[in-house]
Amino acid sequence: MTMLSRVMMIAGEASGDLHGAGVVRELKRKRADIEVFGVGGDRMKKEGMELVFHISSVSFMGFVEVVKHLSVIRKVERELEGVLDARRPEVVVLIDYPGFNLRFARKVKARGIKVLYYISPQVWAWHKGRVKKMKSLVDRMKVVFPFEVDLYRREGVNVEFVGHPLVESLGEVRTKEQFLDAYGLVADKKVLGLFPGSRAQEIEQILPVMIRAARRVTAMRSVQVAIGVAPNLGAGFVRRFIPPESGITLVENGTHDLMCHADAAIVTSGTATLETGWFGTPMVVVYKTSPFTFFIGRILVDVEHIGLVNIVAGRKLVPELVQHEMTAENMVRAIERMLDDADYSAAMRSDLSIVKSKLGGPGASIRVADGIIALGEAA
C-alpha cells in the first residue's frame, strides 16, 4: 500500500480557507508528516499548510471582475501546474471555487493525479449538465448538503454527504453579557448586525447601502449597530466606509457572537446566511453585483432563491433584496418589521430552526481527511 505523503489543496475564498483549515488540521493530526501545500489563507497556514499562493491572489467574483484579472489568474494557474510537476502530490483537494478549480482539475487529471472535490460547485443552481462532465474530473466528491447526493449519484459520481463544516465552528459563542461587554455595547438597546461579506468588491457595493439603512433605523429607534468584520479583510478596510460619529461598532473575532445575539441582521448572500440562520436570528438577505454580471447570472442561474439559507430550507424563510431591490429604503422596511413585530420575528426564528437539521452533525473535516487518506493510499 502506498503511504500518502503529499497533498495539494486549493481554496480560493475566505469560506474555503475556514473549511479547508479543519481538513488540514485533521490530516496533520492523523499523519503529522504529510506535506500539505497550495492555495489557502491564514487559517489553513496556521494549521500547517504551506501557502504557494494566498487566497487574496485569486479571490475575484463575477464575470466582469474575473475578466479584468484574467492575466493574474492565468499566471497563478501556470505556476500551480509547475508545482504539480515538481512536487507530484498523490491527491489534489479542490474546495468550492468552481470557476478556477474545475479548470485546474483537468490539468490534474491529465497528469494522472487523483482529485477529491470538497464542497460541491453549485451545479444545482448554475449548470446541472456540468455534473456529467465532473465524473471524468473528480475521483471523490464530498458534499455538504444532503440534496446534492442524488445529483451526483445519478451520474455515477462517487459522492458522500459529510455534513456541513460550519457545524464545527458554530458550537461555542460567548454569552450575551460577555459579548456586549467585550465590544462596548449596552444591554438596554437592541442590536442590529450587519454582515457585508468577505470580498472587497462586496464591501464596496453593499456596505454603504447597509450603513445608510442602519443609520435611518437608529435615528428612529433605540438600536445599536455592529458590523461583523471578515478576518481576511480586517477592521482597517471596513472602517473606510463608516461615517465619522456614526456610533457603529466593529466586531472582530466575534462574528458568530454577533450573529447569535443580534435582534435582527442584514446579511450579504453567501455562507453567512447559513451561519446566521443556524442561530435563528431574523435577517434580510441582500446582494448586488455589476449589471453585466447580474444579467449573465439571470440567464444561467436556475434557482428560485439567492440566499443559501432559503435554498437549503427549500422555501423562503427570510426576505431577499437583490440588485435594484437592494435599497436602503427596502432594508429599513424589512428590519423595522423584525424589530417591531414580535410575532413576525418569533415565527422567523421558529422557521429557521430547520437549518440545523439540514446541515447534519459535526465531523465533516474528519470525514474529508479520512477520504483524502483513503484515496491517496488506494491501489
Higher pLDDT, 297 or 250: 250
pLDDT higher than 70, residue 251: yes
Going by pLDDT thresholds of 50, 70 and 90, the confidence category of residue 124 is low
Name the residue with higher pLDDT: 317 or 64. Answer: 317
More confident residue, 332 or 292: 332
- What pLDDT sits at residue 63? 42
Give residue 2's pLDDT: 73
Average pLDDT over residues 22-48: 95
Q: Count Cβ neighbours within 10 Å for each residue of 17-56 and write b for 16 or more, e otherwise.
A: bbbbbbbbbbbbeebeebebbbbbbbbbeebbbeebbbbe
Q: DSSP string of 152-173?
A: HHTTT--EEE---THHHHSS--
DSSP H/E element including 340: helix 328-340
Q: What is the pLDDT of residue 1?
A: 58
Whether 24 shows a pLDDT value over 90: the answer reads: yes
Distance between CA atoms of 123 and 101, rounded to whole angstroms? Answer: 13
pLDDT at position 271 is 85
> Is the whole model's pTM more than 0.95, yes or no?
no
C-beta separation of 4 from 369 below 8 A: no
pLDDT tens by residue, 176-215: 999 999 999 999 999 999 999 888 888 998 999 999 999 9
The 10s digit of each residue's pLDDT in 90-118 is: 999 999 888 889 889 999 999 999 999 99
Assign 276 a pLDDT band (cuts: 50, 70, 90).
very high
Residues above pLDDT 70, as percent of the chain:
89
Give all domains of the chain, ordered by start, each with its CATH number.
6-163+363-377 (3.40.50.2000), 176-359 (3.40.50.2000)
pLDDT at 129: 63
Q: How many CB atoms sit inside 10 A of residue 207's CB?
A: 21
Pair 102, 91: CB distance under 8 Å: no
The amino acid present at 11, given as its one-letter code, is A
Element (H, E) at 274: helix 271-278
Per-residue pLDDT reduced to its tens digit, 230-240: 887 888 899 99
Lowest mean pLDDT across 71-80, 141-150, 215-224, 311-320: 71-80
SS3 349: helix
pLDDT beyond 50 at 34 = yes
Instruction: Please say whether the beta carbons of 145 and 354 come within 8 A.
Output: no
Residues ≥6 apart with Cβ < 8 Å to 286: 206, 209, 210, 266, 267, 268, 269, 320, 321, 322, 326, 331
Please name the amino acid found at residue 191: V
Across the chain, mean pLDDT equals 88
pLDDT category, 66, cuts 50, 70, 90?
very low
Which of 8-12, 70-74, 163-167, 168-172 is predicted most confidently?
8-12
Model pLDDT, residue 198: 84
Q: HSE, CB side, 13 Å, CA atoms: give it for residue 222.
A: 4
pLDDT of res. 246: 87
**Least trusted range by pLDDT, from 19-23, 36-40, 61-65, 185-189:** 61-65
Confidence at residue 61, expressed as pLDDT on a 0 to 100 scale? 47
